[in-house]
Structure 1
Amino acid sequence: MFESLDPVVLARAQFAFTVSFHIIFPAFSIGLASFLAVLEALWLWTGREVFINLFNYWLKIFAIAFGMGVVSGIVMSYQFGTNWSVFSDKTGPVLGPLMAYEVLTAFFLEAGFLGVMLFGLKRVGPKLHFMATLMVAIGTLMSAFWILSANSWMHTPAGYAVNADGQFVAADWFKLIFNPSFPYRLVHMVLAAYLTTSLVVGAVGAYHLLKNSRQPGARMMFSMAMWMLMIVAPIQIFAGDLHGLNTLEHQPAKVMAMEGHYQSHPDGAPFILFGLPDQDAAVVRYALEIPKLSSLILKHSLDAPLAGLDTVPREDWPPVPITFWSFRIMVGLGLLMAALGFLGLWVRWRGRLYDSRPTHRFALMMGPAGFVAVLAGWVTTETGRQPFTVFGLLRTVDSVSPLAAPAVASSLIAFVIVYFAVFIAGTVYILRLMAHPPHHGEEGPPGETPARAAGITPAPAIATRRLG
């Protein structure tokens, strides 16, 4: 039944499917862990019950998202030994230690303090509990550091040598870890995680404000989310521009695919807003263009020449249609995030933040946008690296295990069935938790209660502080 299928395509599809499920959970948990640390810090600083209520409300959601991310990550990693054994053999001396560093630092830090964070408020006291929350938040960021360092090395390999067995080995660990694209990708991903969390928090707050605009927890989470969007979305646009310039320097074919530039433009390249890339004919059909704008964005000059894919061997072309459209989805959603942030600032200035129903509906619709943008960004960068697993050095077709198509297809079908069953159930449960507003005396996962359970009675002078 599956004999006629390409095992390389099936192996890529399986990895794309599992990593697409996995990446949305770390993207959410990285931002949510930092949000929880901020909420607990604000509770300790102000003594206001609304912050510990929100902390306990989102802690339950974090616990589920974190667990689903761990499970999906473990399953995903097995594929390196099953479907990608040649890749694992060639890159193991480089990527293996980076993954080990992630486990020894980030994962151990998260695992060591997660139990205290989830179950320890009454047992260890508020200050030590806050330290545990802070360590979990730092652990999620350290995890992003090592994972993105490893992935970035695959895009911009540096600091390596090749031994007699054809394996990549470390020649300079500093250059290898801090490879040319790593700083840009780390900043871009962390900001994306914060935006993803802000959009979810804002959507939940907007949902409850639409039902009751006087609900204090909904007011606070919506206000904090709008501040975060207004500040971070423009920074993300700027960081994305720097990341694009770095990609142009080190992976020009990826940028050519993102821009849809099959042909070179010696006197200024247009920015193609929309169109239908035709890979066989090497043309973007029905293109809607803005003349010279691509040269202005990428070279900061209207007449700057830009090379096209006609300067790249055909066998090294990325799949332009997928890369082209995923890039536009990511950018379009990023602009909508910035628009929502500034709309929130506008209605806040007018004193309508908590009763502007159009703003709340917009925020509610944008709730999933961060996840979609993260997936679109991942598709852009990974398909843009093709046809290589290690850019310019190791081709994808030379990285797979010697497996027949039926073996890969059967495991792919099993993953699809299990993932949809398990993760749809988990997502439905998270949505059910979000459907209930945070309330007075909100309990955490094990029955933790807010301030009085920890033995804290805020001073009246402190408790009267307010945040916008």
Structure 2
Amino acid sequence: MTLDPLILSRLQFVWVIAWHILLPAFTVGVASYIAVLEGLHFWTKKPIYLQVSAFWIKIFSVSFGMGVVSGIIMPFQFGTNWSRFSDATANVMAPLLAYEGLTAFFLEAAFLGVLLFGRKLVPAWAHFVAALMVAFGTLFSSFWILAVNSWMQTPAGYEIVDGRFFPTDWWQVIFNPSFPYRLAHTVVGFYVTTGFVVMGVAAWLIRRGTFATEGRLMLSTTLWLLLALMPLQIVLGDLHGTNTLEHQPAKLAAIEGRYDTASPVPLTLFGIPDDKNAVMHDEIEIPWLGSLVLTHSLDGAIKGLKEWPVDQRPPVGPPFFAFRIMVGCGLLMLALVVWGNVLRRDERFVRSVGFLRCCQAASVLGFVAVLAGWTTTEVGRQPWTVYGLMRTADSVTPSLTGGNVLTTFIGYIVVYLIMFPGGGLVLARIIRRGPTALGNDTIESGRPAQPVEALPGVLAGEAAP
């Protein structure tokens, strides 16, 4: 059996980034959540905000550390596995990645120490500022990384000289056509992901019967936030889809499973794509709705994949199914948020065991949606690394052998299967200890913090899974 270094390099990159993306999907949101809690504590002086903030700071620190380790590994692959891509795009990508390190990573690193260890060493306002700087650092990191990715999707502001990309307009490079939509959609997606993790943890604490007041605070504030974020994410997703239709029509055709150009376009709910014969089998469709959703017109046209040469078509299966998984997760999350806010009457949202169980189960939905969205975006871009300009097959290191990649790939698998479950166990231990066990042993009154009793109506003695 011949080991193809291109396929193995792609699988290795998928493995590494799929694990890594789970961490910024959480840390970006939780850093902002901590900043909000620190601000509320600074202005109100209520100890509960301090307790909840200290709890999530511990969780953030472990997640941030894992994210740094897994994130450092990723750039090495550009040199070892994708050297032709790195050589061709270095003049554009290297400065953007350098800015990510200079503005984001150093901002996070400089203030993270204050956030973790400075509670008793700096004034309250300084600790609040540290929380804000860490939150801004995570957002700056998202800004630069997504600028790089968006430029690969919709390149702009460049010229090609001797096979290499050179920037001609940095404003166009950074703010390329898809960047504003990708940045907004991704960051809001990260906030939503964090929100559902917070809800899941809060529901577990409430059902457990201890720290229920802290759990209620987490659950209530997050439900209000998600009630605004979920509809916003739907609007941003629609805008991003419209942008994709304009700048990456082949990707949109793959997402929709369109092999033939059509007008009006039905909305395909399900089907079995057959790339070899360029046909969709067993499709379930809603007439006209595809045109309305995609073009905002009842008779809008969508180009089919047959409009492109076979060697320039993305595979349909992964983006087609991944997109539907992402949308399905989004609809489930929206329904849960609406349900929770309906249950606010008479505090039923903290007494309904069914709702609390659903919150716990839904805590992973955001991560599933993020992975599905990433799969949609990146597989839908194929066969290009720089869309329409540089093929993935031409980006891999020429001297690389399948044996080389297989060796490193196995190493990555082993390391990640140790690091991530180990980190997960540490996080689970932190959550089991509860909020007050992680804050200062003496909250500002100078008295030991005590767990609160279960909220009325909650099954305090019920063993939470």
Task: Give the TM-score taking structure 1 as reference length.
Answer: 0.93
Report what 1:393 is aligned to: 389
The correspondence of residues 187-336 of structure 1 with structure 2, limited to 5 A, is 187-212=184-209, 215-265=212-262, 267-336=263-332
Deviation at 1:231, TM superposition (A): 1.1
What are the Cα deviations for residues 24-82 of structure 1, in whole angstroms up to 9, with x where unaligned? 10110000000000011111121111110001111110000000001001011110000
Q: Contact 1:213 / 1:355 at 8 angstroms: preserved in 2?
A: no
Report what 1:404 is aligned to: 401
1:151 and 2:149 matched? yes
Q: Contact 1:229 / 1:337 at 8 angstroms: preserved in 2?
A: no
| Matched AA of 1:23 | I
Deviation at 1:362, TM superposition (A): 1.3
Deviation at 1:264, TM superposition (A): 1.2
| Matched AA of 2:22 | I
Q: What is the distance in 2 between the residues matched to 1:263 and 1:288? A: 16
Q: What is the distance in 1 between the residues matched to 2:242 and 2:225? A: 26
Q: What is the distance in 2 between the residues matched to 1:369 and 1:449? A: 36
1:121 and 2:119 matched? yes
Q: Contact 2:159 / 2:165 at 8 angstroms: preserved in 1?
A: yes
Tell me the SS of whatever aligns to 1:122: coil
Tell me the SS of whatever aligns to 2:385: strand
Deviation at 1:212, TM superposition (A): 2.1
Q: Contact 1:230 / 1:344 at 8 angstroms: preserved in 2?
A: no
The correspondence of residues 353-368 of structure 1 with structure 2, limited to 5 A, is 353-368=349-364
| Matched AA of 2:35 | A
Tell me the SS of whatever aligns to 2:311: helix
Structure 1, 209-218 or 108-117: larger mean CA deviation: 209-218
Deviation at 1:213, TM superposition (A): 8.0
Deviation at 1:423, TM superposition (A): 1.1
1:343 and 2:339 matched? yes
Q: What is the distance in 2 between the residues matched to 1:258 and 1:432? A: 40
| Matched AA of 1:137 | A
Deviation at 1:204, TM superposition (A): 0.5
Q: Contact 2:211 / 2:435 at 8 angstroms: preserved in 1?
A: no
1:426 and 2:426 matched? no
Tell me the SS of whatever aligns to 1:124: coil
The correspondence of residues 376-387 of structure 1 with structure 2, limited to 5 A, is 376-387=372-383
| Matched AA of 2:222 | A
Q: What is the distance in 2 between the residues matched to 1:185 and 1:145? A: 10
Report what 1:462 is aligned to: none
Deviation at 1:349, TM superposition (A): 3.3
Q: Contact 1:119 / 1:448 at 8 angstroms: preserved in 2?
A: no
1:172 and 2:169 matched? yes
Cα gap change, 1:85 to 1:62, in 2 (>3 Å): same
Q: What is the distance in 2 between the residues matched to 1:174 and 1:438? A: 45
| Matched AA of 1:171 | T
Report what 1:133 is aligned to: 131
Q: Contact 1:122 / 1:448 at 8 angstroms: preserved in 2?
A: no
What are the Cα deviations for residues 189-234 of structure 1, in whole angstroms up to 9, with x where unaligned? 1101100110000001111222228711111111112112211011
Cα gap change, 1:419 to 1:247, in 2 (>3 Å): same
| Matched AA of 2:438 | E
Cα gap change, 1:350 to 1:274, in 2 (>3 Å): farther
Q: Contact 1:121 / 1:448 at 8 angstroms: preserved in 2?
A: no
Deviation at 1:432, TM superposition (A): 2.2
Report what 2:34 is aligned to: 36
Q: What is the distance in 2 between the residues matched to 1:191 and 1:140? A: 13
What are the Cα deviations for residues 80-124 of structure 1, in whole angstroms up to 9, with x where unaligned? 000000000000000000001111111111111110011001001
Deviation at 1:449, TM superposition (A): 4.8
Q: Contact 2:268 / 2:286 at 8 angstroms: preserved in 1?
A: yes
Q: What is the distance in 2 between the residues matched to 1:330 and 1:278? A: 22
| Matched AA of 2:117 | F
Task: Give the TM-score taking structure 2 as reference length.
Answer: 0.94
Deviation at 1:299, TM superposition (A): 1.1
Cα gap change, 1:443 to 1:431, in 2 (>3 Å): closer
Q: What is the distance in 2 between the residues matched to 1:215 and 1:315? A: 58
Q: Contact 1:327 / 1:376 at 8 angstroms: preserved in 2?
A: yes
Q: What is the distance in 2 between the residues matched to 1:58 and 1:214? A: 14
| Matched AA of 2:90 | G
- Consecutive unaligned residues of structure 1, counting only runs of 5 or more, are 455-468
Q: What is the distance in 1 between the residues matched to 2:266 and 2:95? A: 43
Report what 1:77 is aligned to: 75
Tell me the SS of whatever aligns to 2:177: coil
Q: Contact 2:58 / 2:438 at 8 angstroms: preserved in 1?
A: no
Q: Contact 1:276 / 1:286 at 8 angstroms: preserved in 2?
A: yes
Deviation at 1:448, TM superposition (A): 7.0
Q: What is the distance in 1 between the residues matched to 2:417 and 2:275? A: 32
Cα gap change, 1:120 to 1:160, in 2 (>3 Å): same
Q: What is the distance in 2 between the residues matched to 1:431 and 1:186? A: 31
Cα gap change, 1:453 to 1:26, in 2 (>3 Å): farther
Tell me the SS of whatever aligns to 1:274: strand
Deviation at 1:281, TM superposition (A): 1.7
Q: Contact 1:122 / 1:453 at 8 angstroms: preserved in 2?
A: no
Q: Contact 2:211 / 2:434 at 8 angstroms: preserved in 1?
A: no
| Matched AA of 2:3 | L
Q: Contact 1:273 / 1:290 at 8 angstroms: preserved in 2?
A: yes
Q: Contact 1:43 / 1:49 at 8 angstroms: preserved in 2?
A: yes
Q: What is the distance in 1 between the residues matched to 2:446 and 2:185? A: 39
Deviation at 1:166, TM superposition (A): 1.4
2:84 to 83, 86, 89: 86
Q: What is the distance in 2 between the residues matched to 1:450 and 1:308? A: 63
The correspondence of residues 44-83 of structure 1 with structure 2, limited to 5 A, is 44-83=42-81
Q: What is the distance in 1 between the residues matched to 2:67 and 2:212? A: 31
| Matched AA of 1:79 | Q
